[in-house]
Amino acid sequence: MPMQTEPPYSHDQSPKTGLLLCNLGTPTAPTAAALRPYLAQFLSDPRVVELPRLLWWPILHGVVLRLRPRKSAAKYASIWLPDGSPLKVWTERQAKLLQGYLGERGHHVQVRWAMRYGQPSVASGLDALKAAGCTRILVLSAYPQYSAATTASVADAVFAWGRTVRNLPELRLVRNYHDQPEYIAALAASVRRHWQAHGRPNVLLLSFHGMPARTLEKGDPYHCECHKTARLLAEALGLSADQYRVTFQSRFGRAKWLQPYTEPTLIELARSGVDRVDAICPGFSCDCIETLEEINLEARSAFLQAGGKAFHYIPCLNDSHEGMQALTALCEQHLLGWPTRLPPDPSACAHSRQRALSMGAKS
């Protein structure tokens, strides 16, 4: 990939900081035609499906991309918002709010949002921040728990962009925030608020997106980080071990995924006489198809059909004040990690002195 041609370097540029909030990506419409390119890009990422290409390619192109787009489109249609896919709507809103929250704390940071798959791409977001004069950029992956399939894949996109850039900004990538006290406090506050309004369940179900089980054996910390989030949240809420369950959802393909699986656990709970379950998804920073359709529609119906009496879904933090405060605190901790800089020095070298003179500055 060729390197970009950039405006000549100038010493009189004041340092500016940018923030790129990256989420996974989502189709532009709830149709099979929009789902196909989105799923093709997503499921071609070797960080997501780790099978050898020779084996995976015929399955992806011969089976998955023929059947899944139509099936998934119907699911997206059931949760679509007037302004688009919930994942896009919430991510855009969080980025807008983050700019204000950080500004109130004295951080004048340009905030943009991007999607790892689809548009606006990570590269276009980084290009825009660089074009706006940002010489340091904080990349915040929206996933609280680290996984190679999500966080590391965003890093891949950032590094790929870096290969096209001549004059790189300083880059910092948030790795995770699964145990950040402000994030746990925000989750606990949203659960408590729900319980104040609707009473308490017999069991609180914490459902996380799944991963193939072999990723845990190969050293991916995702499973452990999900369990740590769950333990901290349970402690914050004062729950005993029998008052909550940790499960994994969204199994894809035939391989064994992280267990226990969400839906079979709900069926087992209903059959064993548990009347009310509340479900929360602390692995998602905002609501999306995985929470709104798979949990709030499908899992709810499985629980009720198996004899459960009441199922409450507690939404993701989305644009709530507590959630935004947690994201702000997280960004602030990372922004403060950067060294203090000397003011720009236009006389730092002969060519910039000449530039300053030609632009009419006094020598």
Ligand X SMILES: C=CC1=C(C)c2cc3[nH]c(cc4nc(cc5[nH]c(cc1n2)c(C)c5CCC(=O)O)C(CCC(=O)O)=C4C)c(C)c3C=C
Feature table: binding site for Fe(2+): 209, 290
Minimum separation from the CB atom of position 100 to ligand X (A)? 24
* Residues whose CB falls within 8 Å of the CB of residue 13, separated by 6 or more in sequence, listed in order: 133, 135, 344
Q: Of the candidates 234, 206, 213, 215, which has an alpha carbon nearest to the alpha carbon of residue 291? A: 206
Minimum separation from the CB atom of position 13 to ligand X (A)? 36
Q: How far apart are CA 224 and CA 143, in angstroms?
A: 14
Minimum separation from the CB atom of position 35 to ligand X (A)? 7
Q: Does 72 bind ligand X (CB under 6 A)?
A: yes
Q: How far apart are CA 25 and CA 43, in angstroms?
A: 12
Stretch that binds ligand X, among 182-190, 227-235, 288-296, 347-355 (CB under 6 A): 288-296
Minimum separation from the CB atom of position 342 to ligand X (A)? 41
Q: Does 289 bind ligand X (CB under 6 A)?
A: yes
Q: Half-sphere exposure of 86 toward its Cβ, with a 13 Å CA cutoff?
A: 21
Q: Does 293 bind ligand X (CB under 6 A)?
A: no
Residues within window 88-117 making contact with ligand X, judged by CB under 6 A: none
Binding site feature residues: 209, 290
Stretch that binds Fe ion, among 1-9, 200-208, 216-224, 262-270 (CB under 5 A): 216-224
Which residue matches tokens 């998804």?
281
Residue 151: name its binding partner from Fe ion, ligand X, none (Cβ under 5 to 8 Å by kind): none
Q: Does 244 bind ligand X (CB under 6 A)?
A: no
Residue-wise DSSP of 188-215: HHHHHHHHHHH---SEEEEEEE--BHHH
Residue 224: name its binding partner from Fe ion, ligand X, none (Cβ under 5 to 8 Å by kind): Fe ion
CA triplet 275, 277, 279: central angle to 5 degrees?
170
Element (H, E) at 173: strand 170-174
How large is the greatest C-alpha to C-alpha distance in the chain, in angstroms?
83
Residues within window 14-53 making contact with ligand X, judged by CB under 6 A: 24, 26, 48-49
Q: Which of 32, 36, 85, 205 binds ligand X (CB under 6 A)?
A: 85
Q: How far apart are CA 280 and CA 265, in angstroms?
A: 14
Q: Does 149 bind ligand X (CB under 6 A)?
A: yes
Residue-wise DSSP of 44-56: T-TTT--S-HHHH
Which residue matches tokens 């800089």?
341
Q: Which two tokens stand for residue 164?
A: 């096209």
Stretch that binds Fe ion, among 103-111, 155-163, 164-172, 219-227 (CB under 5 A): 219-227
Q: Which of 91, 141, 147, 296 binds ligand X (CB under 6 A)?
A: 147
Q: Are the CB atoms for 137 and 172 separated by under 8 Å?
A: yes
Q: Does 177 bind ligand X (CB under 6 A)?
A: no
Q: Does 224 bind Fe ion (CB under 5 A)?
A: yes
Q: Which of 80, 101, 143, 244 binds ligand X (CB under 6 A)?
A: 143
Q: Which of 223, 245, 251, 300 binds Fe ion (CB under 5 A)?
A: 223
Q: Does 178 bind Fe ion (CB under 5 A)?
A: no
Minimum separation from the CB atom of position 314 to Fe ion (A)? 20
Residues that bind Fe ion (CB under 5 A): 223-224
